């Protein structure tokens, strides 16, 4: 097997101390593209192992969905001997990713500025936290939904009828994970020029605010706070969900040409010529009237067939499908966006690299599955590993919190 076929990030070694979602999602993406990921869990394990049902072989679907392509080790880092093992593993590492409560590494005597920067000058240390280390909310804990709330995302999601609603996917955690991937790769690229690693900070709060487009941009320019408008778009019309005879569909019409094609396909081309709908600004001003017109025209159609025709004509549209339908759809399969390996099934790899494609090589690790293997590779002898296990520094059986 050639080095390039192992993935674009082959040779990048990552020590992953993260739990829950943002950090593990980041390291899974790196692992999908060939980075070696060593996931180090605390004695009680990553809490998402318990976030179910469903479970399979004692592993929750939540944990399985974001922890493939990693080897698993469990260490008690609250003990000095455990931290010495971590430092040994960092000797050959390029990246450390962690999402401990801020101040934890410093309390343990292994903070970046105090220890890691000098001891490992090429190390890229990425910290994912809720709010950062300083400022009015510095050091506070953050989970996705709470940050969706305090960073404004919930306030722009929902309708006047239902009120503000949490976005149904953990968009802040996932967004922070994606931003962390980019940050790590930027630091790795810069290290090729400078020879030095650096500290990288990604917070859920900052990530959430960066996702407020176009609502933040609208407020900066107009001074008007956004309102709840349901499925509609604050800047584009028609951009909404409509009922048809067979299913709901979403129309995302971004320009006048697309609007003319839509009206013609719906059998009323003259609608596009009306002054109240002539431009996007006109359609936005008269959105309620336009939606009423389109709702009546769409009602008798087969939604799936209509969307197929509109897409072929260049009009962005789609039937509203549920998750099982999406994962079983022929285009999903064609795009390799469902992967299967043994008993593992998961979503596919969205980044398609022609020469160095990513791939799924390992299912999510069982708790502490690779501890002895990883420590042996780090130079520990069998007797040393036995002693670390006997003392509880290397944890091989999960310790449940009471």
Q: What is the pLDDT of residues 352-367, one digit of tens each?
A: 999 999 999 999 999 9
Asked if residues 235 and 214 have their Cβ atoms less than 8 Å apart, the reply is yes
pLDDT at 205 exceeding the cut of 50: yes
Provide CATH 3.30.1540.10 ranges for the chain: 239-243+248-319
Task: Give the pairing type, strands 124-129 and 199-203.
Answer: parallel
pTM: 0.94
Secondary structure letter of residue 394 according to DSSP: B
Q: How large a percentage of the chain has pLDDT more than 90?
A: 97
What does the pLDDT read at residue 2?
Answer: 59
pLDDT at 136 exceeding the cut of 80: yes
pLDDT tens-place string over residues 321-364: 999 999 999 999 999 999 999 889 999 999 999 999 999 999 99
pLDDT at 86 exceeding the cut of 50: yes
pLDDT tens-place string over residues 11-42: 999 999 999 999 999 999 999 999 999 999 99
Q: How many CB atoms lie within 10 A of CB 363?
A: 19
Distance CA 69, CA 306 (A): 40
Six token digits for residue 204: 């859920």
In DSSP notation, 205-273 reads HHHHHHT-TTHHHHHHHH-PPP---TTS-SS-SSEEEEE-SSSEEEEE--SHHHHHHHHHHTT-GGGGG
For the domain spanning 239-243+248-319, the CATH number is: 3.30.1540.10
Give Cα 349 to chain centroid, integer Å: 12
pLDDT at 266 exceeding the cut of 90: yes
Distance CA 191, CA 123 (A): 9
What does the pLDDT read at residue 58?
Answer: 87
Six token digits for residue 19: 């739990």
Asked if residues 306 and 244 have their Cβ atoms less than 8 Å apart, the reply is yes
Cα separation values, 153 from 145, 156, 176, 206, 236, Å:
9, 6, 14, 12, 19
What confidence tier does 113 reach under pLDDT thresholds 50, 70, 90? very high
**pLDDT average, residue stretch 112-120:** 97
**pLDDT average, residue stretch 291-307:** 97
Q: How large a percentage of the chain has pLDDT more than 70?
A: 99
In terms of Cα–Cα distance, which of 364, 400, 371 is closest to 60? 364
∠ CA(207), CA(28), CA(90), 5° rounding?
Answer: 95
The CATH architecture that domain 4-211+335-391 belongs to is 3-Layer(aba) Sandwich (3.40)
In terms of Cα–Cα distance, which of 221, 298, 218, 220 is closest to 253? 298
Phi-psi region of 37 (alpha: psi -120 to 50; beta: other; left: phi over 0): beta
**Dihedral pair phi/psi, residue 16, rounded to 5°:** -110, 105
In terms of Cα–Cα distance, which of 343, 345, 335, 339 is closest to 359? 339
pLDDT tens-place string over residues 155-188: 999 999 999 999 999 999 999 999 999 999 999 9
Asked if residues 99 and 21 have their Cβ atoms less than 8 Å apart, the reply is no
> Cβ-count burial of 1 within 10 angstroms (0-12 exposed, 13-18 middle, 19+ buried)?
exposed
Point out the residues that are catalytic: 173
Q: What is the mean pLDDT of the chain?
A: 96
pLDDT at 189 exceeding the cut of 70: yes
Phi-psi region of 314 (alpha: psi -120 to 50; beta: other; left: phi over 0): left
Provide CATH 3.40.50.10540 ranges for the chain: 4-211+335-391
């Amino acid at each position: 097997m050639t080095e390039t076929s192992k993935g674009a990030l082959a040779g990048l070694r990552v020590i992953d101390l993260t739990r829950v979602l943002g950090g593990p999602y980041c390291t899974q993406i790196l692992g999908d593209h060939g980075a070696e990921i060593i996931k180090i869990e605390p004695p009680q394990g990553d809490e998402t192992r318990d976030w179910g049902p469903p479970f399979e072989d004692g592993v929750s679907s939540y944990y399985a969905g974001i922890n493939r392509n990693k080897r698993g080790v469990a260490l008690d880092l609250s003990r000095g001997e455990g931290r010495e093992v971590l430092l040994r593993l960092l000797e050959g590492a390029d990246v450390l990713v962690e999402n401990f409560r801020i101040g934890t590494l410093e309390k343990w005597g292994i903070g970046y500025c105090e220890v890691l920067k000098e001891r490992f000058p090429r190390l890229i240390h990425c910290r994912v936290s809720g709010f950062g280390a300083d400022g009015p909310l510095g050091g506070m804990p953050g989970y996705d939904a709470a940050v969706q709330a305090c960073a404004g995302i919930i306030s722009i999601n929902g309708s006047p009828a239902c009120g503000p609603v949490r976005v149904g996917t953990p968009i802040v955690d996932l967004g922070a994970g994606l931003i962390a991937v980019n940050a790590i790769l930027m630091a790795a690229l810069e290290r090729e020029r400078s020879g030095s690693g650096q500290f990288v900070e990604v917070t859920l709060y900052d990530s959430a605010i960066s996702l407020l487009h176009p609502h933040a941009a609208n407020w900066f320019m107009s001074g008007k706070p956004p309102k709840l408008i349901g499925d509609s778009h604050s800047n584009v019309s028609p951009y909404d969900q409509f009922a048809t005879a067979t299913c709901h569909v979403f129309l995302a019409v971004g320009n006048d040409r697309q609007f003319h094609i839509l009206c013609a396909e719906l059998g009323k081309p003259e609608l596009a010529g009306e002054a109240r709908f002539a431009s996007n600004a006109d359609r936005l001003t008269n959105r309620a009237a336009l939606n009423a017109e389109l709702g009546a025209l769409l009602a008798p159609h087969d939604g799936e067939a209509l969307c197929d025709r509109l897409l072929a004509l260049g009009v962005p549209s789609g039937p509203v499908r549920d998750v099982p339908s999406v994962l079983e759809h022929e285009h999903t399969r064609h795009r390799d966006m469902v992967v299967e390996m043994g008993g593992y099934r998961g979503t596919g790899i969205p980044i398609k690299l022609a020469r160095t494609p990513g791939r799924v090589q390992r299912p999510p690790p069982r708790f502490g599955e690779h501890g002895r293997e990883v420590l042996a590779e780090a130079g520990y002898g069998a007797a040393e590993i036995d002693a670390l296990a006997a003392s509880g520094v290397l944890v091989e059986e999960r310790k449940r919190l009471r």
